[in-house]
Amino acid sequence: MELLPENLQLLRTQVALVTGASRGIGRAIALELAKYGATIVVNYAASSAAADGVVETITSAGGSAVSLQADVSQADQVDTLINAIIEKFGRIDILVNNAGITRDTLLLRMKPEDWQAVIDLNLTGVFLCTRAVSKIMLKQRSGRIINITSVAGLMGNPGQANYSAAKAGVIGFTKTVAKELSSRGITVNAVAPGFIVTDMTNDLGNTEEILKLIPLGRFGQPEEIAGMVRFLATDPAAAYITGQVFNVDGGMVMA
């Protein structure tokens, strides 16, 4: 990667926490925000080598990044993560709630633990990180919170009752928190990807059938989600946008 020339680094003074940034969409978001000059906190759960690789890619291009392990479904680990960021950088300007998992199976076969694990990370994790970071943003009187939801939260998807419930929950959460934080200059938006090529989707089965549902006729790339996230983080382009859901899905969902 290459950083943009300094006069184009619109996020130069900003500190961004990207959850689940060791791989896939989160990694692409970390690199994109870094390209625009932001200091990046690369959060991960288990892949420390991959997270360090993201940090190395950013720092060797002249950017600034650190990796911090935390399971963001756990309140105490989120608090430790946020405290560590404040101790090191003194502020958090951008929060991207990206970490997510799937435990797909049809409803009648879905075990309570499959349900709970997905709700715990994909919905409760978003609540925990947003609550902790919003305290800091409220004091700063500025901030951008961007939640990665999914088209599954808008249109449902067989085998994903847990995942689509969590992702639909993230949309309601986004709108409510956008209203609660708006008076302090904090915006809260959601991005709903369609099928993006990552580890999460490397086992999709019948890809021909899925491609028929996508008007643009192809799967998306992580960088195509990262571009939308970067736009929502940028001033003044996105300063007047809050409580919205942006589909980046090759046209799968058209309202």
Q: Which one, 85 or 121, has the nearer CB to ligand NAP?
A: 121
- Shortest distance in whole angstroms from residue 64 CB to ligand NAP: 20
The phi and psi torsions of 16 (rounded to 5 degrees) equal: -120, 130
CB 31 within 8 A of CB 61: no
148 counts as binding ligand NAP under rule CB under 6 A: yes
Binding segment toward ligand NAP, per CB under 6 A, in 43-51, 58-66, 171-179, 208-216: 43-51
From the list 243, 135, 240, 132, the residue with the least C-alpha distance to 179 is: 243
100 counts as binding ligand NAP under rule CB under 6 A: yes
CB neighbour burial string for 165-189, b if at least 16 within 10 angstroms, e if fewer: bbbbbbbebbbebbeebeeeebbbb
Here's the x/- map for ligand NAP, 171-210, by CB under 6 A: it reads as: ----------------------x-xx-xxxx---------
Instruction: Give the distance between the most distant pair of CA atoms in the chain.
Output: 56
- Shortest distance in whole angstroms from residue 127 CB to ligand NAP: 13
Q: Which one, 69 or 142, has the nearer CB to ligand NAP?
A: 69
Selected binder of ligand NAP within 1, 8, 46, 239 (CB under 6 A): 46
**Count residues contacting ligand NAP (CB under 6 A)?**
31
Selected binder of ligand NAP within 22, 134, 174, 189 (CB under 6 A): 22
Considering only CA atoms, give the Rg of the chain.
17
- Shortest distance in whole angstroms from residue 25 CB to ligand NAP: 4
User: Which tokens belong to 238?
Assistant: 């996105």
CB 153 within 8 A of CB 170: yes
- Shortest distance in whole angstroms from residue 255 CB to ligand NAP: 17
Q: Which one, 69 or 140, has the nearer CB to ligand NAP?
A: 69
20 counts as binding ligand NAP under rule CB under 6 A: yes
The yes-or-no answer on residue 240 being catalytic is no
Q: Which sequence positions are flagged as catalytic?
A: 163
| Residues contributing to the site for ligand NAP (CB under 6 A) | 19-26, 43-47, 50, 71-73, 98-101, 121, 148, 150, 193, 195-196, 198-201
